Amino acid sequence: MKADALRGHLDSLILAVVEKQPLHGYAIIEALSARSGGELDLPTGTIYPALRRLEKAGYLDSSWSEVGGRKRRTYELSSAGRRALATHRQEWKTFSQVVSGVLGEA
């Protein structure tokens, strides 16, 4: 899959994946891979900056913990993040309908 097809959609995907339970960065990468049937295999250099951006935007809250001697930063959806996710879902629906419509079936 082309890399920058994701542009502008990655945020939605991250928010969606931490919706049900909080996850740390590494687990988010694995969750995205699992949920996409292996199609998404995002490098850490993509996901960590994205998480920081989302936290700064107020959509995620983070907290540190230590599991088996390793430090984890766990992110969970804020209420603003929940609202943003709902908006993103709606925008995705519109967007995908538009693209599908223009591409046609041919």
Judged by beta carbon distances under 5 to 8 A according to partner kind, the member of DNA, its own copies, none in contact with residue 37 is its own copies
Cα gap 60→41, rounded to integer Å:
22
12 touches which of its own copies, DNA, none (CB within 5 to 8 A by kind)? its own copies
Minimum CB distance to DNA smaller for 37 or for 68: 68
Strand order in the sheet with 23-24: 23-24, 70-77, 60-67
By beta-carbon proximity to DNA, the closer residue of 52 and 78 is: 52
How far is it, in rounded angstroms, from Cα 32 to Cα 54?
16
To DNA, the closest distance from the beta carbon of 42 in angstroms equals: 5
Strand residues in 1-106 grouped as ranges (E): 23-24, 60-67, 70-77
- Name the residues that contact DNA, by CB under 7 A: 3-4, 6-11, 24-27, 42-46, 48-53, 67-74
By C-beta, is 40 or 47 nearer to its own copies? 40
